[in-house]
Copies of this chain bind each other. A is one copy, B any other.
Amino acid sequence: MELKVIAYAQNGHTDKFGIPRQSREESPIMTRIVFEPEFRIPEALRGIEGYSHLWLLWGFSEVPNNPEQRAKEGLSWSPTVRPPRLGGNKRMGVFATRSPFRPNPIGLSSVKLVGIEDGDLIVSGADVLDGTPIYDIKPYLSFSDSHPEAKNGFAEETKNRTLEVEVLPALDQHLTSTKPAQHLVSEICYILSQDPRPAYQDDPEREYKMDYAGYRVTFVVADGKVVVKKIEKI
């Protein structure tokens, strides 16, 4: 089957580093779903406002669309992958993971519908890079899609691991002086609480840099706590 891009995601995740590993209900990260001209039809969204959650089917940006290109770049699928959740040193079957390096690199995320604006959808909680191609949008149906008691395999242990985040007071004050920046700080704190470091790194001295929504964030992680040292406009 050949898929057509129906829309692109627009958000602050211009950098792969920092994208949450899964969509989360509590995520404050806003994403704008901008339809391609052919699919930019208000009637196609009729009734969508009655749903609180939607599914996005999307393409992993780090994986080329074309199978030959994937093979050339060494990004083909492999039967086993090393999930970051497991420290990056244990192998699991690709179908037991949400890894991008799968036979058909399609991602699946449930998001909250925040609103419709000028024909675009505004959603929160999407774990996707800015510019991600979207292939389908479906309503979330609690009676068929929701299984709160589902067993989460190896993902169970690490599902609630979050870090405390401290933003140095001077920085905080500087940034929250304007309203958009307030939301920006809460977005940055949320992303950092999810621990964006590669799973096998744990060096308290190491300074990390993450670009988000036009800012470069510098932080360290020590004793299970993130300390934000700098937030600069890029």
Total interface residues on A, CB under 8 Å, equals: 71
Is A65 touching B155 in the complex (CB atoms < 8 A)? no
Residues of B within 8 A of A91 (CB): 43, 46
> Given contacts A106-B136, A153-B47, are A23 and B93 in contact (CB under 8 A)?
no
Residues of B within 8 A of A105 (CB): 1
Q: Taking CB as reference atom, which chain B residue is nearest A54?
A: B95
Determine the distance from Cα of A91 to Cα of B23 in the docked complex, in whole angstroms.
Answer: 31
Say which residue of B45, B97, B108 sits within 8 Å of A57 (CB atoms): B108
Is B146 touching A95 in the complex (CB atoms < 8 A)? no
Chain A 135-166 residues near chain B, CB threshold 8 A:
135-156, 159-160
Say which residue of B4, B23, B92, B94 sits within 8 Å of A144 (CB atoms): B23
Is A65 touching B147 in the complex (CB atoms < 8 A)? no
A2 beta carbon closer than 8 Å to chain B: yes
Determine the distance from Cα of A104 to Cα of B92 in the docked complex, in whole angstroms.
Answer: 30
Residues of B within 8 A of A4 (CB): 67, 103-104
A208 beta carbon closer than 8 Å to chain B: no
Q: Mark A109-146, 1 if CB is under 8 A from B, else 0.
A: 11000000000000000000000010111111111111
- A–B complex contacts, Cβ < 8 Å, 28 sampled: A6-B104, A25-B147, A41-B79, A44-B95, A46-B80, A46-B93, A46-B96, A47-B92, A47-B96, A48-B95, A48-B96, A49-B153, A50-B96, A50-B151, A50-B156, A51-B151, A52-B149, A95-B137, A95-B138, A103-B136, A106-B136, A139-B155, A141-B150, A142-B148, A142-B150, A143-B152, A146-B147, A146-B148
The 10 closest A-B pairs by CB, nearest first: A50-B153, A46-B93, A47-B96, A52-B151, A44-B79, A22-B144, A48-B96, A47-B92, A142-B150, A51-B153
Interface residues of A (CB under 8 A from B): 1-4, 6, 22-25, 39, 41, 43-53, 55, 57, 59, 65-67, 79-80, 91-98, 102-106, 108-110, 133, 135-156, 159-160
